Structure 1
Amino acid sequence: METKKSIIPYLFIAFILLYVTLDSIFIYISKNSYNGIITENAYQKGVDYNRVIKENEAQKKLGWIGNLRYYLVGKNLVELDFTLFDKKYRPVKDAEVEVRIMRPVTDKYDTVVKLEEISSGRYSNKVQLPLQGQWEIKLKASLKKNEFFLNRRITISDKEE
């Protein structure tokens, strides 16, 4: 009686080789297409979470009201317009307003811009962005020891929406 060799061990080895090959391809793609963690000091930011919560509570107590608008005034040229009022709806004058503008997917185009006070409680400046698409805006307004934070995501496009 003749024993027939089974094909199953060869199929098993072929499956393992296919699996290893595909995993190697996925690892290569992921290593070469990701530029790393964008958040600097991610561990420290995690540790400081309670401080951030306290800052948010202090901002709520302060009662300031801020509104950020943006206008496309040229090819990727954006005018940022920010108004700031106290809890009695009086303009907040002489504040230092700083805006950090970032792409959500890379830190290559991050920029910081100071907004100038153009009238009582109104701050503005123009920013030339290198690309269209989504941008993350982190605004910080400071007056003495009081701080107001505002985060917003905007989309810049030549097309009418």
Structure 2
Amino acid sequence: MTVIDLPRRSPSPAQAKRSLIPWIFVGGMGVVIVVNSILIYYAMHSWTGIVTAKPYERGIEYNKVLEAQAQQDALGWVFDADIEPWGDSNILTVRITARDGAALDGMALTGRLVRPIDIMPDVPLTFTAAGNGRYTASVVLPKHGQWDLKLKAEKGADWYHLTRRLFVK
């Protein structure tokens, strides 16, 4: 019996390409799985974006929110808030005027500063009247940056809720 040794032929470019197609498909699916896994991890371990404690209930009562806002707008009170460094602390100044620009004195203010992007305790505020519609509060903040001023101003039976973004340098 004679063995004939035939010369080996190298695969044609079309055959080589065909043999890579399944591996390209598997590699593409692997990339999709890895990227999706990274996105899922960051979605589960980052800030939720919820800014209201009970968003569903607040949505149901949205007409009450609109009514309260209309009552506040009818008062015509105008608020200006500013925070400036003062030694180791900061001085928060709130100026309240009527629609015609007249200063509103004799208000009772309560409020707090809330960090909008960090989970940290609120900073309570104690205001003192400074005259000419100005009210001041001295506050020591743990961090610089953005803070939300949550304020309730009352005068007699009238009240106004204010949320204002402040930047602390």
> Partner of 2:84 in structure 1?
71
Report the CA distance between 1:97 and its aligned residue. Answer: 0.8
Q: Within 5 Å, which residues of 2 pair with 1:41-120? A: 41-75=54-88, 77-87=89-99, 89-119=101-131
Cα drift, residue 90 of structure 1: 4.6
How far apart in 1 are the matches of 2:101 and 2:19?
Answer: 83
> What SS is found at the alignment partner of 1:17?
helix
Matched residue of 1:7: which SS?
A: helix
Distance 1:74 1:48, change over 3 A: farther
Q: 1:52 to 1:107 in 2, by over 3 A?
A: farther
TM-score normalized by structure 2? 0.76
What is the CA–CA distance in structure 2 between the aligned matches of 1:23 and 1:125, rounded to whole Å?
A: 48
- Secondary structure at the counterpart of residue 6 of structure 1: helix
Task: Please report the RMSD computed on the Cα atoms of aligned residues, expressed in angstroms.
Answer: 2.6
Report runs of 4+ in structure 1 exceeding 6 Å deviation. none
Partner of 2:46: 33
Counterpart residue number, 1:15: 28
Aligned residues: 155
Q: Aligned to 2:162, what secondary structure does the other structure show?
A: strand
Q: 1:38·1:106 contact (CA, 8 Å) conserved in 2?
A: no
Runs of at least 5 residues in structure 2 that lack an aligned partner in the other structure? 1-10
**Letter matched to residue 131 of structure 1:** K
Which SS does the other structure have where 1:19 is aligned? helix
Aligned with 1:133 (options 124, 136, 145): 145
Q: C-alpha separation between the residues in 1 aligned to 2:133 and 2:21?
A: 77
* Cα distance per residue 1:23-49 (max 9 Å; x no partner): 112211232232562421122222232
3-state secondary structure, aligned to 2:95: strand
Q: In 2, distance between residues paired with 1:36 and 1:151?
A: 18
Q: Deviations over 1:32-87 (max 9, x none)?
A: 23256242112222223222222221122212233222221134x22111222344
C-alpha distance in structure 2 between counterparts of 1:111 and 1:42, whole Å = 23
- Output the amino acid matched with 1:107: I
Query: Which letter maps to 1:118?
Result: A
Secondary structure of the structure 1 residue equivalent to 2:149? strand
Task: Give distance in 2, aligned partners of 1:53 and 1:80.
Answer: 29
